[in-house]
Structure 1
Amino acid sequence: MVRRHALPLLDTSMSSRQSRPIRKRDPDQPSLPFDPMPERIEPCLALLRPTVPVGPDWLYEVKWDGYRLAVHIEPEGVRIITRGGHDWTHRFPTIAEAARKLGTTRAILDGEAVVLNGQGKSDFGALQRSLGGRGGKRISTEAILFAFDLLYLDGHDFTRTELSVRRHFLEDFVPAGGEGAIRLSEELALDGEILLDHACQVGLEGIIAKHRDAPYRSGRTGDWLKIKCVQSESFMIVGYEQSKTARGGLGSLLLAGRRGYDWVYVGSVGTGFNAKDADHLKRTLDRLKTSKPAVPLKGKRFVFAQPTLIAEIKFRGWTDDGNLRHASYKGLREIQDNAAVFEITNGSGYPP
């Protein structure tokens, strides 16, 4: 029987099994008779879907809004690796210290670093501020890790094991209901559609659906799906519109998505940033100024920039002419976070 935790929202395979051949011991890890610990595992990514998959094959979790991290626990110490493969152990000392106290010699946890607001919801802007903004060098003592997968533990590689088994070991390793810097991202024992409605009512970004019998496969395979209440995607900033009255002289940011090797203009965003954000954005974009716009756009007050800065934008949908509807700026993505710029395809929700 699959164990499920009924968490209030924020307040088997039939194939035959065969034993694997005995592996030779890794000379660098002679005490491990089974699987050598991987140096790094490319993350499994959630595929965006408009509706919730239903049925007993799926489990559901909250969609956390932060930075994807892998926490490697080794005899030599703890390493915290970003989605892009960068070592950020020094940026999250509280999470690293909590990992050292988990009581194991070797493990790899997959999870999301977040900062919670007063209502217990993950706040991407607060996480960025705790790190000193994009390109900042500050450490974050406010961030906590919601662990949602266990990929390796004491000589056993779990990536070929179905999710239901991985969750079983994870729940023993990181118990539910914890209040420390590493917490369990609990399975929500509700019908998927009811859960999504509830998540949207309380102001969450959405939910994640995961196939119980799937192994851990890197990339967007469809084993994990994300269903959002409000759409939130990464877009390239290709310039800004000047203003004599707005904060710091920046009226709005000009945004683009990717179609193959080309940039496609998707509109502008003029809300979501304060005077300090606007001043920083304008100064940064002025250093990236170019006379060759990345998109075919003309305007007397437009200042074009080299496509370098990636912004996280929440929005309500698309207009008929392909612009974002009710867009709001959330923050800049770190290069180390390896954020993927929104890809405009037939299935992306972008107007045909």
Structure 2
Amino acid sequence: MTKPPRKPPQPLLGAADVPIRSKPRRRRDPAQPQLPLDPMPARADLCLALLKSRPPKGPQWAFEVKWDGYRLAVYKEPSGVRILTRGGHDWTDRFPAIAAEARRLPVSTAILDGEAIVLDEQGRSDFGKLQKSLGGRGGNRASRDAILMAFDLIYFDGHDIRATELSSRRHLLEGLVPAGGEEAIRLSEEIEADGDTLLRIACEHGLEGIIAKDRNSPYRGGRGGEWLKIKCVQSDGFAIIGYEKSTASFGGIGRLLLAARKGNEFVYVGGVGTGFNERSAAELREEMDKLIIRKPAVNTGRKRDAVFVRPELVAEIQYGGWTHDDKLRHASYKGLREEQDMAEIYELT
């Protein structure tokens, strides 16, 4: 018999009535010797979640909501605040509210790991709204709607804490960013529930999925299995290799033509004709028309009224599965990924 969640489903989308908070940090005793300080890394290699079909079992696993946005690391130093993307690009100016809140954190030096998101009316992260707030792919607008859901602490008060276990890092993070806050930096709270139960509740609320983390693990860059992601719906990045024209659709785009990777090559995986609105279709058409080529980069079979482009744009596609011949089923366009976000293209096995 599975253990029921300690909190009802609704707190997944908002602050709980009695948020979980860490114990207040005690002031350091001046009589105690100070530990030597560690140099702050100029850029930390971020820990990535490995995709799994089902949540793991066991008391060592902690669970959180999976947020749909841009992965960021926030560096707070005496000289100021830097906000870097997973690819190492400086996006401090693009997230002024997050940067301002980072300056107010009650610590002199820190590196926070988190996800920049924009919430919809139901309190769910909405990737499309985030992109719109930033001016679309390649835009340079500053988003004042974006908030950072902080879920880990890499460096704290002069000390590199990546070698310590997750439970200790979380304790420090919860003291720095209390649960239930409404500021531009908020805590991505752990949900105490059985993984299968939490996944079901998350899917019922229309969330993207959940993250499982080994409480005893250190912080290691890359996809080593310390963090796992379990999705309610399948959503991945695919290269845009062209589009079919239509006079009846937004932007004249009837269907995007998509490709995945297989080894060192691209493989055609079908198309997507839904998920666009007038604005996103116009932005897409403008980006694609800069990349037009005469011959397709991938064999797509015979296509009428098709325009082919260099496979440089990565679209985030939500889909229901695969056909027997490796084509996407029930695909829907979610948005373009940024190059600075180190957008990954789905790999066929």
Alignment match, 1:117: 120
In the alignment, which residue of structure 2 is the partner of 1:197?
Answer: 200
In structure 2, distance between residues paired with 1:273 and 1:189: 37
Equivalent residues of 1:6, 1:187 under 8 A apart? no
| 3-state SS, counterpart of residue 296 of structure 1 | coil
Deviations 1:28-52 (A, max 9, x none): xxx9823111111011000110011
> CA-to-partner distance for each residue in 1:5-32, whole Å, 9 max, x for gaps?
9582114xxxxxxxxxxxxxxxxxxx98
Q: Which residue of 2 aligns with 1:148?
A: 151
* Paired residues of 2:293 and 2:309 also in contact (CA < 8 A): yes
Question: Are 1:307 and 2:296 counterparts?
Answer: no
Q: Is residue 343 of structure 2 the alignment partner of residue 339 of structure 1?
A: yes
Q: Which of 176, 179, 188 is equivalent to 1:176?
A: 179
Please identify, of 34-43 and 64-73, the stretch whose mean Cα deviation from structure 2 is larger: 34-43
The residue identity in structure 2 corresponding to 1:322 is D
Alignment partner, residue 322 of structure 1: 326
Check the 8 A contact 1:234/1:313 in 2, yes or no. Answer: yes
Among 290, 295, 300, which residue is 1:292 paired with? 295
Q: Does 1:208 align with 2:221?
A: no
1:91 is the counterpart of 2:64: no
Unaligned stretches of 5+ residues in structure 2: 15-33
Shift of 1:284: 2.1
**Unaligned stretches of 5+ in structure 1?**
12-30, 346-352
Residue in 2 aligned with 1:264? 267
**Which one-letter code corresponds to 2:304 in the other structure?**
K
Is the contact made by 2:136 and 2:283 (CA closer than 8 Å) also made in structure 1?
A: no
| CA deviation profile, 1:79-130 (whole Å, cap 9, x unmatched) | 0000110000000000000000012111000000000011000000000000
Amino acid at match of 2:85: T
Local SS of the residue matching 2:90: coil
Distance 1:180 1:117 in 2: 16
Distance 1:136 1:47 in 2: 30
Q: TM-score scaled by structure 2? A: 0.90
- Specify the code of the residue in structure 2 equivalent to 1:251: G
Measured after TM superposition, the shift of residue 260 of structure 1 is 1.4
With 120-129 and 156-165 compared, the bigger mean Cα shift is at: 156-165
Is 1:230–1:315's contact at 8 Å kept on the other side of the alignment? yes
Note if contact 2:72-2:83 (Cα within 8 Å) is conserved in structure 1: yes
Opposite residue 126 of structure 2, the aligned amino acid is D
Amino acid at match of 1:330: K
The DSSP-based 3-state class of the residue aligned with 2:138 is coil
User: Number of paired residues?
Assistant: 323
Compared with structure 1, are the counterparts of its residues 139 and 32 closer, same or farther at alpha carbon in structure 2 (3 Å cutoff)? farther
Q: Distance in 2 between matches of 1:247 and 1:118?
A: 25
Query: What SS class does the counterpart of residue 9 from structure 1 fall into?
Result: helix
Q: CA RMSD in A?
A: 1.5
Distance (Å, rounded) in 1 between the aligned partners of 2:100 and 2:284:
34
**DSSP 3-state at the match of 1:287:** coil
Deviations 1:224-278 (A, max 9, x none): 0100001110110000011122222110100111111100111100100112222
Aligned partner letter, 1:319: T
1:242 equivalenced with 2:241 (yes/no) = no
Q: Distance in 1 between matches of 2:35 and 2:307?
A: 58
CA distance in 2 between partners of 1:193 and 1:216 (Å) = 25
Instruction: Write out aligned runs for 1:58-77 (5 A).
Output: 58-77=61-80
Distance 1:239 1:32 in 2: 57
- Distance, in Å, in 1 between the alignment partners of 2:127 and 2:81 is 24
Match for residue 46 of structure 1 among 28, 46, 49: 49
